[in-house]
Structure 1
Amino acid sequence: MPARRSGALAAILVPLVLLLLAVALWRSLTGGAGPQERPAATGGAAQALAALEVREETPSADYQRTRFGESWVDVDGNGCRTRDDVLRRDLVDVRLADDGCTVLSGTLADPYSGEEIAFRRGERTSAEVQVDHVVALADAWRTGAQELSDQERVAFANDPLELLAVDGSLNRSKGDDDAAEWLPPVGECDYVARQIAVKRSWGLWVTPAERDAMAGVLAGCPGQVLPAS
């Protein structure tokens, strides 16, 4: 083959091979939707909300926290409990105990209040920063989690997408409310988008009132995308 033709062919094939490798890498990283694999933040939250099933909630008289397993189990096998994993992820200037897991102190830019909160582990201070289940477990139970297996509910309760370190007092005020009943003082767009991402990932539904409240928030959040974690 003449050198000129060979060089031209290489100029075409090399970029093509690199493109195929990039696509393969992207697909391996994003995977498919679901509790074990989920897409990156590419979808619009409003479109995802429109795709969620809308149903009335089911009775929650038999809800118990234990339906979702022990609190903060080490589901990812890294040797640390989920609460500390989330604190390490969401706080800055983190100081760890000698075990390499327990968060002793750090600073939180609170997504619910917009305030900066200094966290210090202690009997009187730890509760100032809490880890919120963005879709409250009782709300999840009422909107489809009853149909998950015991193992799936444990994974749900420890899913990083479902968890955020937040101001403790605001987390207490939220309780088990859904978006029709409670929204954070700031960051409503991100909060609602994360709830939608969680419900989509785990096959949960929204109530009519919840859907309307979410849609009302997103109407003021053009281009809001779903978080990936």
Structure 2
Amino acid sequence: MRRVTTRGAAGNSTAKSGAVDWIAAGLAGLLLVSATACAGPGTAPAAAPAPVASAAAPAESPTPAAEGGTPDPGTSDGAPSQQPAAASRALDVLATIPVKGRAPKTGYSRDQFGQAWADVDRNGCDTRNDMLRRDLTALALKPDTRDCVVLSGILNDPYTATLINFLRGTNTSPAVQIDHVVALSDAWQKGAQQLTEAQRLAFANDPLNLLAVDGPINQQKSDGDAATWLPPNKSFRCDYVARQISVKAAYGLWVTKAEHDAMARVLAECRDTTTPAGQAAPAPSEPQPAPPPAVAPAPAPGVAPPSASTAVYYANCAAARAAGAAPLRAGQPGYREQMDGDRDGVACE
């Protein structure tokens, strides 16, 4: 009897266990059916939840072009990574330029700023002709120079507010000169001595610092700053001073106290004048490697060509100026093509 009871108890326990498992399975099935019914027809079963770290991670944005990726052209990420800076008030920029005394002019020469009117942008055209093409109208260009060499044109001179007819030639080219708005000598005395040779070459040929202007007025200006010289055309003075400020700020140069005060006085009459942006020179047609040096123009009438016995030689324009011989014209003793940067027959202008 005890064995039967024991076996009965075991069988009863097994039966109960099987019943519980059957009931649990049934309940699970009912719950699954119920959940599916509640989800509605056509609804996919819910996926397993993603790991917490992945769920919290933000969506990856397209790689900017500056980092080597290819941004989606249909999104704003395709815009250039560096937008042009907004124009700044000249008075505000002036306030950022250091005010110091003028350094000694010791060691200055035009050669410190590299070859005159070099083709720094490698467009096959020297800087002087680049500026003439930019600033003159009604241009006549020399054939077979890829629209580089300017033979004639009309300049609306900003310094005098007059129209000047430009005609290329030994005796006529100086009527229109390319002015360094911040003179090279002035720059040398206000920080350019610390620039590298490459930076000084860029400074001397930077379109931002260059304007085609009336030749005699440019000679009158010489290397004056805003404290000693301003354009006779008063309506251009605000733009002139703003350009000087822009150039000095761009190259890390300083101003003297007198220069600063003169600039501030000019801008007080036009407080919202902004600093100009860089002005790239127009490219000649069909860019190609720079053409070979042009043949020197014929001497002007009445000027005898140099004879073989002529022994005058100047190593550079600084030497010619020191000897009081500058400018040198084609046919005069000491003239060499290498010293005539724009090949207009006048060296060391």
> How big is the shift at 1:19?
5.2
Give the AA of the match of 1:188.
R
Residue of structure 1 equivalent to 2:116: 71
Q: Which residues of 2 match residues 188-199 of structure 1 at below 5 A?
A: 188-199=237-248
Give the AA of the match of 1:135.
V
* Equivalenced residues, count: 202
Aligned CA-pair RMSD: 1.6
> How big is the shift at 1:20?
5.0
With over 3 angstroms needed to count, the CA separation of the structure-2 counterparts of 1:18 and 1:183, relative to structure 1, is farther
Residue of structure 2 equivalent to 1:207: 256
Residue of structure 2 equivalent to 1:175: 222
User: Secondary structure of 2:95's partner?
Assistant: helix
Distance in 2 between the 1:18 and 1:86 partners? 40
Q: TM-score, structure 2 length as denominator?
A: 0.56
Whether 2:163 is the aligned partner of 1:116: answer yes
Map Cα deviations across residues 21-75 of structure 1 (whole Å, 9 max, x no partner).
45x27x35x3xxxxxxxx46x1000000011011111100211110001100000
Which of 89, 93, 106 is 1:44 aligned to? Answer: 89
Distance in 2 between the 1:213 and 1:222 partners? 14
Which of 74, 84, 87 is 2:129 aligned to? Answer: 84
Whether 2:268 is the aligned partner of 1:216: answer no
Distance in 2 between the 1:120 and 1:223 partners? 38
Residue of structure 2 equivalent to 1:185: 232
Residue of structure 2 equivalent to 1:135: 182
> How big is the shift at 1:174?
0.3
> How big is the shift at 1:158?
0.2
In structure 1, stretches of 5+ residues that fail to align are: 1-16, 31-38
Which of 182, 189, 194 is 1:147 aligned to? Answer: 194
Q: Aligned residues: percent identity?
A: 54
> How big is the shift at 1:222?
2.5
Higher RCO (C-alpha under 8 Å, 6+ residues apart)? 1
Q: Max radius of gyration: which structure?
A: 2
User: Secondary structure of 1:195's partner?
Assistant: helix
Which of 80, 98, 103 is 1:53 aligned to? Answer: 98
User: Secondary structure of 1:172's partner?
Assistant: helix
Distance in 1 between the 2:191 and 2:213 partners? 25
Distance in 2 between the 1:170 and 1:130 partners? 9
Residue of structure 2 equivalent to 1:35: none
Give the AA of the match of 2:166.
F
Distance in 2 between the 1:61 and 1:183 partners? 25
> How big is the shift at 1:191?
0.5
Q: Which residues of 2 match residues 16-27 of structure 1 at below 5 A?
A: 21-22=78-79, 24=80, 27=82
With over 3 angstroms needed to count, the CA separation of the structure-2 counterparts of 1:219 and 1:18, relative to structure 1, is farther
Which of 88, 93, 105 is 2:138 aligned to? Answer: 93
User: Secondary structure of 1:55's partner?
Assistant: coil
Distance in 1 between the 2:89 and 2:109 partners? 33
Whether 2:275 is the aligned partner of 1:226: answer yes
Give the AA of the match of 1:119.
F
Give the AA of the match of 2:232.
P
Give the AA of the match of 2:241.
V
User: Secondary structure of 1:51's partner?
Assistant: coil
Residue of structure 2 equivalent to 1:126: 173
Distance in 2 between the 1:106 and 1:202 partners? 32
In structure 2, stretches of 5+ residues that fail to align are: 1-73, 280-349
Greater helix fraction, Structure 1 or Structure 2: 1
Give the AA of the match of 2:258.
A
